[in-house]
Amino acid sequence: MTELRVVCHQLAPRIGEPDYNRALTERAIRGATSLNTQVIVLPELIQSGYVFTDLEEAHTASEALDGPTLSLWKSLAAELNIIIVAGFCERLSAGRVANSAALVEPTGRLTVYRKAHLWNREKLIFTPGDSPPPVVNTAVGRIALMICYDLELPEWVRLAAIAGADLLCAPVNWPNAPRPADERPAEIVRVQANAAVNRMFIAACDRYGEERGVDWVGGSVIVDADGYPLAGATSHPEEQQLVADLPLAQARDKSISDHNHVHQDRRPGLY
Amino acid sequence: MTELRVVCHQLAPRIGEPDYNRALTERAIRGATSLNTQVIVLPELIQSGYVFTDLEEAHTASEALDGPTLSLWKSLAAELNIIIVAGFCERLSAGRVANSAALVEPTGRLTVYRKAHLWNREKLIFTPGDSPPPVVNTAVGRIALMICYDLELPEWVRLAAIAGADLLCAPVNWPNAPRPADERPAEIVRVQANAAVNRMFIAACDRYGEERGVDWVGGSVIVDADGYPLAGATSHPEEQQLVADLPLAQARDKSISDHNHVHQDRRPGLY
């Protein structure tokens, strides 16, 4: 198993400007291809922006799985032979919407995950998903999907890891919050721990750019199976393209001593 | 609810020298009292040392709950009005031993926890515990107990948090391992994440000092309910006394936004 090159491209969508956002993603995807990238991760809700006033506005911004952004991503994945993971506002039936992530493969296969743990006012707007994080057996490795606040539920991350994920890709929008000087943002610390206790790579792609009074950490990060950052891991609220080469075989070996295995050491009967 | 003063006193026991180790703990406990400390945490297996050759040696080093070290701790807790949390090699029936932690209250109540997730060669020596981490309703707050590698199972930490712990005290012996320059030891990162996703204080007391070819991180740390360190959090393989004042009320408020609660947001039906 060779190394997998992954890019997280931290961008700032504009709410209410879907054409702008779509063009932004195309630029990032084409840019990653020039680095021979096999997987690109883009932020949560990059297709639409984040700070919706209400469900009505989110519904207007939403698109179905055959909408223009998903269609573009399918076309680019096939043209450029790249796997695209990105967040979008998904139009459901009956006027509902989901905070979703797409994994688009060059083969044309589309996997969609709907955020199961909603953050703050998302609960007033989005319908939460009820399905576990998918683990997609792609041509370049087993890739799991979840979104932002999902990462704060270690039980959820565990599901993806036990289902065999080598790499967890997570579009995120991490709202900025106070923290002690010289401390890494807590969201990044949690990503590190999630990776280490599962021996799984994680690529979390954040956004930047103030939107309706909210700003973001700009903390995109790619961590290895020991939980140490390979790229990113600082608050950098500007556009940035993180690149890392992941020796995915490390994620297939869950042994951490002569007698320990991060998953077999679990005692589910006691939890 | 006022602040709780907790001390982690990082020490180096000597294997095969129980009198020395006992005196070491007495010095640390009396030293903490001079700071008006309400809880002191000492390392894993501080009564015995760690790197046993085999079960026979561990059994010789073990003591029952009325043994000399536990008796000393009970006496000191009552005399000095302090809660003592410390690790010891517990003599069980039929020649077995456990890697245990005691929580000794000034009232004379003794709570014992037996490590449920064993590290490396511990599996050849110790009988693992089958009981969840206890949460003790002390006069100064609700204090949970677990030991070292237990902290790498987020499911286990969750049990203590959901049972209402304000503060988790963990005697540890973290074996040193390579890590990237400028990175905090991964064990500390996991403590930070465990605290943050549960909004619970954690005090982990490590040891230092080479023993039979093994050395330790010396990474004792006390973290707040946001997962940020209040004391320690570096590799400092020397004796050290960490002190922190914990506003335990923060651990009673699990809300992290207008619509989020770290425990109520869990969806156990999906895990």
**HEC string for B2-44:** CEEEEEEEEECCCCCCHHHHHHHHHHHHHHHHCCCCCEEECCC
pLDDT in tens, A139-168: 999 999 999 999 999 999 999 999 999 999
By C-alpha distance, which of A188, B253, B132, A180 is closest to B262?
B253
d(CA A139, CA A241): 23
How many residues in chain A? 271
* Dist CA B266 CA A159 (whole Å): 14
Query: Beta-carbon neighbour count of residue A93 at 10 Å?
Result: 7
- Using CA atoms, how far residue B68 sits from B21, B48, B65, B72, B81, in Å, is 11, 12, 9, 6, 19
Residue to mutate among A125, A260, A264, with most B CBs inside 10 A, is: A260
Beta strands B3-10; B39-41: pairing state: parallel
The span from the CA of A36 to the CA of B129, in Å, is 50
Other C-beta atoms closer than 10 Å to the C-beta of B48 total 27
Quick check: is B44 catalytic? Answer: yes
- Tokens encoding A262: 């991060």
- pLDDT, residue A211, reads 96
Please return the burial class of A212, using the count of CB atoms within 10 Å of its CB with bins 0-12, 13-18 and 19+: exposed
Partners of residue B199 in chain A, C-beta under 8 Å: none
Judge whether A267 is closer than 8 Å to chain B, CB to CB: yes
Structure tokens at A233: 């891991």
8 Å CB contact of A189 and B189: yes
Mutate to test the interface with A, among B192, B200, B221 (most CBs of A within 10 A): B192
At residue A64, the pLDDT reads: 98
- H/E segment holding residue A39: strand A39-41
pLDDT in tens, B55-85: 999 999 999 999 999 999 999 999 999 999 9
Distances in Å between the Cα of B195 and the Cα atoms of A243, B157, B160, B204, B237 are 30, 9, 11, 11, 24
Across the A/B interface, how many CB contacts are shorter than 8 Å?
A: 124
Is B120's CB within 8 Å of A260's CB? yes
In this prediction the pTM is: 0.98
Q: What pLDDT is attached to residue B2?
A: 82
Q: Give the tens place of pLDDT for each residue, B95-142.
A: 999 999 999 999 999 999 999 999 999 999 999 999 999 999 999 999
For residues B60 and B97, give the distance between their C-alpha atoms in angstroms, rounded to a whole number: 10
B148 among known catalytic residues: yes
Residue of A nearest to B183 (CA): A228
Domains in chain B, please, with CATH? 3-270 (3.60.110.10)
pLDDT (mean) for B92-97: 98
3-state secondary structure B194-256: HHHHHCCEEEEECECCCECCECECCCCEEECCCCCEEEECCCCCCCEEEEEEEECHHHHCCEE
- Are B137 and B105 in contact by the 8 Å Cβ rule? The answer is no
CA distance A245 to chain B (A): 16
Portion of chain A with pLDDT greater than 70, in percent: 100
Distance from the Cα of A258 to chain B's closest Cα (Å) equals: 6
**pLDDT tens, residue by residue, A168-223:** 999 999 999 999 999 999 999 999 999 999 999 999 999 999 999 999 999 999 99
Biggest CA–CA distance in chain B, Å, is 56
Q: Kindly report, residue by residue over A87-134, the tens digit of the pLDDT.
A: 999 999 999 999 999 999 999 999 999 999 999 999 999 999 999 999
**Contacting A residues, span 3-62, partner chain B, CB-CB under 8 Å:** none
Q: Which residues of B touch A267 (CB under 8 A)?
A: 116-117, 153
**Which residues, listed in sequence order, are joined to residue A8 by a DSSP beta bridge?**
A41, A242
The partner residue sitting opposite B186, judged by closest CB among A116, A124, A227, is: A227
Is the predicted pLDDT of residue B262 greater than 70, yes or no? yes
Round to whole Å and give the CA distance between A18 and A10: 17
Bridge partners of B171, per DSSP, are: B205
Beta-carbon count within 10 A of B203 CB? 30
Catalytic residue of the set A8, A89, A148, A205: A148
Segment B176-183 mean pLDDT:
94
Mean per-residue pLDDT over chain A, rounded: 97
CB B99 within 8 A of CB B118: yes
Question: Which helix (H) or strand (E) segment is A260 a member of?
Answer: strand A260-261
Residues of A in contact with B154 (CB under 8 A): 154-155, 158, 193, 197
Strands A141-145, A167-171: pairing kind = parallel
Catalytic residue among B8, B89, B148, B169: B148
Closest CA to A44 of A156, A170, A129: A170
CA A134/CA A112 separation, integer angstroms: 8
Q: What is the mean pLDDT of residues B222-246?
A: 97
Contacts of B114 in chain A (CB under 8 A): none
Contact A10, A25 (CB under 8 A): no
Residue % of chain B over a pLDDT of 70? 100
Q: Provide φ and ψ at A43, rounded to 5°.
A: -70, 165
Confidence at residue A1, expressed as pLDDT on a 0 to 100 scale: 61
Predicted pLDDT at A125: 98
